[in-house]
């Protein structure tokens, strides 16, 4: 398929009879050049595209391009009218077994097994959906608010580094691969956007289990301005530690003097291991 064979994004909006609704988190990506590039961020790392999951399919401009590179696509759309439009617009692809349209909330529907996700996400569910997709261990190419993208890819010690950075980095290498201007959308959002690519990998450290690790990271970052010593003591109700003082004593003074924004994922993993050994007798 050549670029000229793709459905025109503006024509799709016209046929669907929609113009986007910021109050419903609807900002349709209409820039052909950006739309054309989005799937390439998956193909250039040889991602397995046998079954691609698209969250927030809208009027199908990106869906159209995904069908050109994927064997199968499952498109999730919350808006009933847009879901109905997709079923009509892509009836041939659905009949051929290449496209499935799931109507519902992406945070609530049962997700199929998929080999990659490529999506222009509704920004209001960015955090929740990325925490749902990352543990699947497949490549992701996702559109976010630029601020969220920067936080997702941030390094320890930077202003953007936080719980999101540690969580995302636990599952994958994270790259901000392209900034996207407001003008690429209709209606334009109030913020700049960016495309993020995650490539799954195993972390360089061991944790007792992912859930305990995430709970501890979440707890400590609720008190990011405190020293780790005080953050551990103050958040046992979040982390579930029965004996936070034992973790403080075992961790060592250098780590306890740090603040969350300067603690590396490896050091958080050390704290999680100590929590399992001495913090929950």
Cα 107 to Cα 250: distance, rounded to the nearest angstrom: 39
> How far is residue 166's CA from residue 267's CA, in Å, rounded to a whole number?
11
120 is in an annotated binding site: yes
Name residues whose C-beta falls within 8 Å of residue 167's C-beta, 6 or more positions apart in sequence: 131, 134, 214, 217
Q: Is 105 annotated as a binding residue?
A: yes
56 is in an annotated binding site: yes
Q: How far apart are CA 30 and CA 32, in angstroms?
A: 6
Annotated binding residue 32: no
At 52, give phi and psi (nearest 5°). -100, 135
Residue 81, Cβ neighbours under 10 Å: how many? 11
**What does residue 232 show for φ and ψ, rounded to 5 degrees?**
-65, -45
Helix 163-171 vs helix 265-274: crossing angle, to nearest 10 = 90
DSSP string for residues in 23-56: GGT--EE--HHHHHHTTHHHHTTT---SEEEEE-
175 is in an annotated binding site: no
The answer to whether 23 is a known ligand-binding residue is: no
Decide: 153 and 168 in contact? Cβ < 8 Å. yes
Mark the binding-site residues, compressed into ranges. Answer: 27, 29, 56, 77, 105, 120
Mark the binding-site residues for S-adenosyl-L-methionine, compressed into ranges. Answer: 27, 29, 56, 77, 105, 120
């Amino acid at each position: 398929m050549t670029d000229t064979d793709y459905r025109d994004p503006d024509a799709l909006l016209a046929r669907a009879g929609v113009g986007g609704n910021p109050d419903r988190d609807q900002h349709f990506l209409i820039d052909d050049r950006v739309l054309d590039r989005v799937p390439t961020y998956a193909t250039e790392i040889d991602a397995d595209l046998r079954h691609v999951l698209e969250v927030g399919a809208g009027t199908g401009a990106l869906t159209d391009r995904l069908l050109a590179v994927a064997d199968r696509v499952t498109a999730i759309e919350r808006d009933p009218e847009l879901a109905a439009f997709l079923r009509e617009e892509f009836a041939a692809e659905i009949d051929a077994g290449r496209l499935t349209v799931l109507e519902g909330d992406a945070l609530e529907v049962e997700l199929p097994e998929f080999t990659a996700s490529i999506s222009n996400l509704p920004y209001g569910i960015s955090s929740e959906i990325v925490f749902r997709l990352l543990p699947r261990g497949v490549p992701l190419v996702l559109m976010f608010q630029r601020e969220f993208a920067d936080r997702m890819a941030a390094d320890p010690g930077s202003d953007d580094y936080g719980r999101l950075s540690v969580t995302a980095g636990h599952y994958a290498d994270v790259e901000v691969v392209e900034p996207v201007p407001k003008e690429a959308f209709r209606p334009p959002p109030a913020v700049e956007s960016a495309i993020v690519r995650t490539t799954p990998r195993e972390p360089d450290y061991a944790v007792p289990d992912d859930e305990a690790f995430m709970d501890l990271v979440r707890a400590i970052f609720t008190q990011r301005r405190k020293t780790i010593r005080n953050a551990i003591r103050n958040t046992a109700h979040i982390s579930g530690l029965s004996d936070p003082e034992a973790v403080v004593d075992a961790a060592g003074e250098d780590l306890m003097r740090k603040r969350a924004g300067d603690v590396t994922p490896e050091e958080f993993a050390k704290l999680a291991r100590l929590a399992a050994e001495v913090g929950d007798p």
